[in-house]
Amino acid sequence: MVNDGSKDQTGEILANLISQYPIHVITHRFNRGLGETIRDGFEYVASIAEPEDILFRMDCDDTHEPKYMPGMIDKIKAGYEVVIASRYAPGEVKSD
């Protein structure tokens, strides 16, 4: 998880989550923007990932729906190397 210079209680919430779950948080002291935040997260995951791991990149502001993840995992298991959820691309993956 990358905390991109949040000025609210995000740091406190993450500190609590770290004590409960095995998560790693990269913290930017100031907002660096989406591009650097995504890059830092991907670089960290690439350094620790196993070949069978699946990476999801999601915003934490409720704009990305986790309900689509099972259908995306099905596509990966069917042989796709990359699956992208987009509100602009035609077609959809449905999950039950």
Structural domain boundaries enclosing 4: 1-50
- Same structural domain for residues 11 and 27? yes
Give pLDDT tens digits for 68-83: 899 999 999 999 988 8
Give pLDDT tens digits for 24-69: 999 999 999 999 999 999 999 999 999 999 998 887 777 788 888 9
Question: What is the rounded CA–CA span in Å between residue 67 and residue 82?
Answer: 18
- The yes-or-no verdict on residue 96 having pLDDT over 60 is no
Question: What is the rounded CA–CA span in Å between residue 14 and residue 3?
Answer: 9
- Same structural domain for residues 44 and 85? no
Question: What is the rounded CA–CA span in Å between residue 24 and residue 17?
Answer: 10
Enter the pTM of the model: 0.69
Give 68: exposed, middle or buried? Use CB within 10 Å, 0-12, 13-18, 19+: middle
- Same structural domain for residues 45 and 23? yes
- Same structural domain for residues 3 and 44? yes
Ordered DSSP codes for 51-80: TT-------SSS-S-GGGHHHHHHHHHTT-
Q: How many structural domains are present in the chain?
A: 2
- Same structural domain for residues 15 and 28? yes
- Same structural domain for residues 61 and 41? no
- Same structural domain for residues 16 and 2? yes
- Same structural domain for residues 67 and 81? yes
- Same structural domain for residues 42 and 58? no
- Same structural domain for residues 68 and 91? yes
